[in-house]
Copies of this chain bind each other. A is one copy, B any other.
């Protein structure tokens, strides 16, 4: 059974302030919870129906300090989902140390002021698919441990590392280390024809405003995803997650084509 205090506590974790104070985040649903349980995250609490416990006996939950068997009605009370699932858990927020120099030979992302939780979740899923482990986010970017973001990553949150930091400082360090930064701009080079690298940072800006002009001088290359046909301008822009996907795909395509 879920105590009133527990219900109140879980509900409070919708707020970033409360998540950071407790050092915990919420994950829901069989697929995501099972991924969390198999990941390096430390699960502190599990609430599930009898059926979930019955169907998931193979999963080692012995080390979770606090577990409840609850009814679906109780889970509905603490769920952040439109369609509540039969299991939810609390896990400790990870503490990653940001060491930009160690990203020197990898492809990484920089996100500036991504505001929509669904977009951030989708971008983390794209990063995971394309083997991009580190994502540096401006402090204005929506919190990756917001329940909506966690859910929309479909498990990618278990594998990518998200670093919230002061972007100006991070970019200054990247420039000092001579790591290339790629960004998008309407006046950029055709990405299909541009020379790309196998390492560096891909920088994506806000949903409606794009990359802030202040960052342009720090980009080694501005890229543009050409519309088609070239003489017929259509929509003004692509969704930021869609643009991120196309850019990451093109970086990895070059690598896959040349190395195999």
Contact = CB atoms under 8 A, between A and B. Distances in A.
A226 interface: yes
A146 interface: no
A241 B230 CA distance: 22
Interface in A64-108: none
Given A131-B229, A228-B131, A236-B154, A193 B257 contact: yes
A40 interface: no
A237 to B, nearest CB: 8
Interface string A122-160: 100110111100000000000000000000001110010
A187 interface: no
A58 B245 CA distance: 38
A255 to B, nearest CB: 7
A15 interface: no
Contact of A256 (B126, B128, B192): B192
A11 interface: no
9 contacts: A125-B242, A126-B238, A131-B227, A131-B234, A154-B237, A156-B234, A226-B256, A228-B255, A246-B249
Interface of A: 118, 122, 125-126, 128-131, 154-156, 159, 190, 192-193, 225-230, 232, 234-239, 241-242, 245-246, 249-250, 252-253, 255-257, 260
Given A126-B242, A154-B237, A245-B246, 8 more contacts: A122-B239, A125-B235, A129-B227, A129-B238, A154-B236, A156-B234, A159-B234, A226-B256
